[in-house]
Amino acid sequence: MIFDTHAHYDDEAFDADRDVLLESMESNGIGTIVNVCASIDGLEKTIALMEKYPFVYGAIGVHPDDADQMTQETLDKIRTLLQHEKAVAVGEIGLDYYWHKEKEEHLIQQNMFRAQMEIAREEKLPFMIHSREAAEDTLNIVREYMKGGMYGGIIHCFSYSKEIAREYLNMGLSLGIGGVVTFQNARKLREVVEYAPMEQIVLETDSPYLAPVPFRGKRNSSRNLPYVVNRIAELKGITPEEVIEITEKNARKLLNL
């Protein structure tokens, strides 16, 4: 069964049909989903999804877009929610300089990124990294923490060069591959997928975002992952069944499931 390591079913894009959609996953070959917190508001919503659906697990953390709203109370809440038996990772955390151009904003994001990496270390959990237009700073912080001993992680929606991919792969981290690999203009990502060992690739959607071709621009869901599977299979010269089996095994091992 397909394992989606990164989705946001708490997003308002699913308000109209969330239950119907999630209840259809098994019959469409989707076995496990990790709902990943992005906002402070999403923390409790993710817990609710984990408790309602047996096949939904959760990553608990706050996206860099909300870093300026975080307080010590937020960090304490993350620690508390990570005690849930179905919490499997700290995420999504990291840096995003696309919308945030000021140095002061970068420093706030870096501080909250580090604080949440500390939580991942304390709780002995893997992390899920968001990095957009912040390649060097993200890599430096991850490298710093990996030297001190961590428990694995996923570079979500990997979008950088093969050279940067090599750095993360050499640290033993996994790359999250989703719909972007099917885009015509995704040559750089296809090179990364060709280069990366299958044992360090996991599937993801980032639902409701980044739907694969032929649904690009529409609402994404885990049910679209076969398109990603087929593209990876082509690039790696293996069968779609092998991609599904290997990536599920990778995800389960990393997330201790």
Q: What's the rounded Cα separation, in Å, for the pair 62 and 26?
A: 29
Bond into 214 cis (ω within 30): yes
Tell me: pLDDT of 193 over 90.
yes
Chain segment 167-192, per-residue pLDDT in tens: 999 999 999 999 999 999 999 999 99
Residue 157, classed as helix, strand or coil, is: coil
* pTM of model > 0.95: yes
How many other C-beta atoms are found inside a 10 Å radius of the C-beta of residue 181? 21
Mean pLDDT (whole number) for 2-6:
98
Mean pLDDT (whole number) for 138-155:
96
Q: What is the model's pLDDT at position 217?
A: 96
Which domains are present in the chain?
Answer: 2-254 (3.20.20.140)
Q: What is the model's pLDDT at position 100?
A: 85
In percent, the amount of the chain with pLDDT more than 90 equals 97
Chain segment 82-117, per-residue pLDDT in tens: 999 999 999 999 999 998 889 999 999 999 999 999
Q: What is the model's pLDDT at position 137?
A: 97
Identify the helix (H) or strand (E) that includes residue 195. Answer: helix 187-195
How many other C-beta atoms are found inside a 10 Å radius of the C-beta of residue 40? 16
Mean pLDDT (whole number) for 21-33:
98
Q: What is the model's pLDDT at position 144?
A: 96
How high is the mean pLDDT of the chain? 97
- Greatest pairwise CA separation for the chain in angstroms: 49
Q: Tokens 């390591």, residue?
A: 5
Chain segment 197-256, per-residue pLDDT in tens: 999 999 999 999 999 999 999 999 999 999 999 999 999 999 999 999 999 999 999 999
Q: What is the model's pLDDT at position 107?
A: 97
Please state the φ and ψ torsions of residue 41, each to the nearest 5 degrees: -65, -25
Q: What is the model's pLDDT at position 9?
A: 98
Burial class (CB in 10 A: 0-12, 13-18, 19+), 148: exposed
User: What six digits make up the tokens of 95?
Assistant: 């840096």
Q: What is the model's pLDDT at position 24?
A: 98
Tell me: pLDDT of 26 over 90.
yes
Residue 107, classed as helix, strand or coil, is: helix
Q: What is the model's pLDDT at position 101?
A: 81
Chain segment 30-70, per-residue pLDDT in tens: 999 999 998 999 999 999 999 999 999 999 999 999 999 99
Q: Do 176 and 152 meet the contact criterion of CB atoms below 8 Å apart? A: no
Q: What is the model's pLDDT at position 99?
A: 86
